[in-house]
Structure 1
Amino acid sequence: MNRGILKYKTLDAAAPQFLQKLSDGATHTGSAVISDQSGLTITESGVGTGLEVLGVFRNAELTQSAGTYGGDVFQPDPTLPIGDNALFLQMTINHTECKYLVPFNYKIVAGPGTWLGGISTDWNLPANWSDGVVPGSTTDVSIPENSPNQPVINSPDATAHDILIGIGASLTLAEFASIEIKGNVTNSGLFNAGAGGAFAYFSGTDQQTIPGGEYYVLSIGGANKILTGNATVSAYLNFSGTAKIALGNSNLTLADGITMSGAGAGTYFITNGTGGLKKNNVGFDEFTFPVGTETSYTPVVFANQGSADNFTVRVGEGAFSSYLDNNPQGSPVSSMVVNKTWYISEDVPGGSSAILQLYWNATDELSSFDRNLCFISHYKSTGWDPTAASQAFGADPYYKRRASITSFSPFVVTNPGSPLPVTLTRFDAAREGSTALLSWSTSSETNSDRFEIERSVNGKDWLQIGSVRSHGESKELVDYQFADLNPIFSAENLYRLRMVDRSAIGTDATFAYSRIRSLNFKDFDRRIVYPNPANDQLFINDPGHVSHVRILDLKGKAVLDFGKIDGHGIRVNQLTPGIHVVEVDWFDGSKTTQKVLINR
């Protein structure tokens, strides 16, 4: 037993049960002092003593970290509860093959602003706080999970700076209660301000985080905010000053009947991730979604003359040649468009008939964009759905309007003749014998150059197998075809079109991808040697796919050996009558073996 590892106060190093050797039974030397006074301090550790700390954990299985050890002082995880914590120190002595696990007690002492909750749930009761003082505007509050009671705010004047809500902990605002928060909220538990009349005001003058949760009234002021989880506001949302809310990957939902004030060009929702602004029960009454990017305010005004539904809106930088599941694909368009994409979705597809107004600023327009002749174009799974072009409304900001929208996906504002690719009305793939026949149609082509046909067997690695020249300019239905004479017979064949436009000299061509179509030839009976039995001539079905043929006798000796063969077959009249084995290698790398009876 290595007695160089000592634990003051609660660990007797001479007791074998407190020092578990995890690898071998050898005796190793080294020295360390482990103390849990004000912090876990390791002394005399490092190369000189042969001791290295690997980690501090909450459990003996070493699956839950308790914090970080930076070489001299242990920094506990902020979610460790107040009071005694049974932790485990893993270390090596002299060499890495010998690991030790040392249990020890680590005590978290409650600092100022720590919720104890020993008396009740009342936030305003001093005895519920570690220092006997109710938090103020400069107090950093910590709410641990192991408190007997979780805090509830009942008063209209609660305030705090930073708030840390631990795992399993909660902070609740009762009816008509309020809190002003001047710092960040780190929420690993539950934040609930959704009771009737509850008021949460985030007023930090530095960038501030807002937790996900339920809000009755949400008010923001001061500097910009970051939403850190999905949130719902049921009654009132107020912007003041120049504060914006960045949604990131979280959604903020506005309930039916909500009132919103203060939103505009300086105060809006920044949709800088996959999260969006959602409005419940949008019907005949117009609703403004105050959204934009970090660079500009580009709101959406929306009304629905069909069945009321919940709609989510976000706007992103750039207009792209195609989209897949609301994700940009292909190349960004570099001219003749507004440099934004508006992503709109509804909870229940079908039944809507929307009137849409998209707003933008002069600084959002790319080169050669003509606001006197523009339109809203809607990207669907088959390609772009344009409409008639006309002059934009407004005077910086500008807007365009489009009605009778019954499906939702990306929208852009563009010009006739813009680099947006063709409108693909269909793309089909069918088997014809051993050939994959691809066919597609377009209803509109502008500045189109060609269709590149690509094939893959895994959906990641794509190979161009052909190209078809497009008509270039067309407003009529145009049909195209391409035959893949050499599909892969040992795997699923995935096909897509890469639709490429004409590029100006010195610029890269823009392109878009079609939907993927698949064909499977695994069950195709082309790998048959016939006739069987054979007399004079032996044929192989689909010889164009054959790279090599060998005919073996039953002893495994090759009696005939060929490279490529043609449709005239193989003469076998010189072979000894009896059973032979035909081995066929295919260009796709597979091999077929078949027994054949040679007769006379």
Structure 2
Amino acid sequence: MHAVGTALYVSGGTLYVDGDLTVDGDATTGDALIAAGGTLNLGTAAANLRTQSFQMNGTLSGNSASTVTVSGGSITGSSAITIPGNLTLSGNASLGQSVTVTTVTAIGTNQLTLGGNTLTLASSSTAAITKSGAGGVISESSTLASKLAWAIGTTNGTYAFPLITSGGGDVTVTMVTSGGLDIGTASVATYASNSANSPKPTGITHVSGVSDQVVDRYWELFRTAATQNPDVTLKYVDGEIPSNGGEASMVAQSANTGSNVWYDGSTTAPSGQSANAGANTVTITAFSRFGSPLTMSNGGGAGALGAAPLPVELTHFSASCTDGQVTINWTTATETDNHGFEIERSLDGQSNFAMVASQYLQEYESNSTVPKSYMAIDPSPLGGTSYYRLKQIDNNGATEYFDPVPVSCGGVTGFDITSIITNGDEQSIGVVFNTDEDEIVYYTLIDYRGQRIAEQSINAKAGTNQVIISTATVNKGIYLFSIKNKQKTVTDKVVLQ
């Protein structure tokens, strides 16, 4: 099939090509273009290929003046794809495979989601990717595998990697190259973390219990040639600012997992930094820490993430159910000024964690440079699936939480209360109960005079359920919690201290 100098138009359907197709003019498909094999040649003229989704299982060829426009679908294929010319977005799109293009233009307000893949710009021009609106490229993968790469080489200039958050916030990374030195292909990956700075990059166990001083974002920069150390500017959004503020003293810090530090004042820290609180940026002069995860801290200047080794380097954490009880095991590689650990449990892994076990250390046990293993038991686990997490406590009172792990222990055993969890701040209680079937149940919380403090009907699901009751305005004392279905009423005591 060969369309020369004219338009190829498919309205409201898919163009499926299982041989060779050459387009020297315009080609438009309504839904998708699927090149199952053969060669799709964009010709010798400035051909324009417009499609909603683009699947390339064969070979794509053409000239650098051609354009592929994707209007709101995915770009995918059986292997990495090279688009010989320009990629344009006329709607939000995503990558299902790594893609190399000469340039990307006319992003506008559209978003291109990398999805764990790499988008490589083959042109060294500073205008190889441009945008005129609020759109951009979404990295946002906690594996730092979603990369925007640029074949800069020895070209001097200001290179703006137009990254945005999943919500459209501007997190552009800028590199300024100079001196004609070679950087090869430079690439950038970034993602937002939660307020506890999780999930963390591979090899990073925690951030020394100073989450309130750390930006809720990680970066990693890469290069293929090591003679160029560009000036780098990292940008974050307002919602990622540390809870203690302090943007004016913000500094970028890089991880050195080999020596268990984020910053030691010399080899692991980006130096020559300046913060711009109004622009939400930190600029690093002559950046060289490629291939190391980065974040930012405002905890009193450089080294705020810990000039000493990380308090605890966790290498293993697991929970398993045997004979009706949960065994929790964890191992540390090193410990510094460690006061001990607490094990917390939650029904959903997101909220209402309550301590079920603890192991505190004597002062002489606080430091270790050899692996140490620990074990704790929860003798009364919840039925069904629940979540356990490790809380580490420093000698100075600082704490760090490690990501929770799920464990299933037993099934439903009739209508009964499994546990009552009193949160440490005494602002609420959580009551966990089991039921054999989907049904409406009714609960009450009663004080010693028989007055009802709380009551409600809820739609319970077969299995494990949880009720959260606010106790922020309830006096300390002993209360009775009752819950009933059509056949049974069960009651348990609640103590608010």
TM-score under structure 2 length normalisation: 0.56
**Greater RCO, CA 8 A, separation 6+:** 2
CA RMSD across the alignment:
4.3
* In 1: Cα distance, 2:111 partner to 2:372 partner: 57
Once the two structures are aligned, what percentage of the paired residues are identical?
16
CA contact (8 A) 2:11 2:29 kept: yes
1:384 maps to 262
* In 1: Cα distance, 2:159 partner to 2:53 partner: 31
CA contact (8 A) 1:302 1:355 kept: yes
Equivalent of 1:444, from 308, 311, 314? 308
- Structure number with greater Rg is 1
Equivalent positions of 1:426-575 (< 5 A) are: 443-444=307-308, 450-451=311-312, 462-463=330-331, 469=337, 482=369, 502=394, 509-510=400-401
Equivalent of 1:197, from 47, 55, 65? 65
Equivalent of 1:358, from 234, 241, 257? 234
Letter in 2 for 1:372: A
User: Structure 1, unaligned stretches of length 5 or more?
Assistant: 1-120, 127-132, 424-442, 472-478, 487-497, 513-600
- Three-state SS of the structure 2 residue aligned to 1:135 is strand
Equivalent of 1:335, from 212, 218, 236? 212
CA contact (8 A) 1:292 1:315 kept: no
Change in 2 beyond 3 A, CA 1:366/1:324? closer
Change in 2 beyond 3 A, CA 1:347/1:329? farther
2:9 maps to 135
Change in 2 beyond 3 A, CA 1:181/1:159? same
Change in 2 beyond 3 A, CA 1:162/1:404? same
Equivalent of 2:150, from 268, 279, 289? 279
Change in 2 beyond 3 A, CA 1:136/1:384? same
Change in 2 beyond 3 A, CA 1:195/1:499? farther
CA contact (8 A) 2:270 2:288 kept: no
Equivalent positions of 1:244-263 (< 5 A) are: 244-258=111-125, 259-260=127-128, 262-263=130-131
User: Structure 2, unaligned stretches of length 5 or more?
Assistant: 264-268, 318-328, 340-365, 374-389, 404-497
Letter in 1 for 2:243: S
- Three-state SS of the structure 2 residue aligned to 1:245 is strand
Q: Deviations over 1:506-559 (max 9, x none)?
A: x952479xxxxxxxxxxxxxxxxxxxxxxxxxxxxxxxxxxxxxxxxxxxxxxx
1:406 and 2:279 are equivalent in the alignment: no
1:163 and 2:41 are equivalent in the alignment: no
CA contact (8 A) 2:215 2:242 kept: yes
2:163 maps to 291
CA contact (8 A) 2:250 2:301 kept: no
1:372 and 2:372 are equivalent in the alignment: no
CA contact (8 A) 1:279 1:311 kept: yes
2:75 maps to 210
* In 1: Cα distance, 2:304 partner to 2:392 partner: 7
Q: Deviations over 1:121-162 (max 9, x none)?
A: 413699xxxxxx953343421113xx4xx111122x221123
Q: Deviations over 1:282-315 (max 9, x none)?
A: 4442211111221222011112455332111011
Change in 2 beyond 3 A, CA 1:421/1:400? closer
1:122 and 2:2 are equivalent in the alignment: yes
Letter in 2 for 1:278: A
CA contact (8 A) 1:141 1:163 kept: yes
* In 2: Cα distance, 1:164 partner to 1:482 partner: 58
Q: Deviations over 1:212-261 (max 9, x none)?
A: 62224324343211122221122x32124311111112211112434335
Letter in 2 for 1:159: T
1:232 and 2:105 are equivalent in the alignment: no
Equivalent positions of 1:96-111 (< 5 A) are: none
CA contact (8 A) 2:17 2:37 kept: no
- Three-state SS of the structure 1 residue aligned to 2:239 is helix
* In 2: Cα distance, 1:264 partner to 1:168 partner: 36
CA contact (8 A) 1:421 1:501 kept: no
* In 2: Cα distance, 1:485 partner to 1:223 partner: 53
**How many residues get paired?**
330
* In 1: Cα distance, 2:281 partner to 2:17 partner: 48
Change in 2 beyond 3 A, CA 1:135/1:310? same
TM-score under structure 1 length normalisation: 0.47
* In 1: Cα distance, 2:170 partner to 2:243 partner: 20
* In 1: Cα distance, 2:229 partner to 2:8 partner: 54
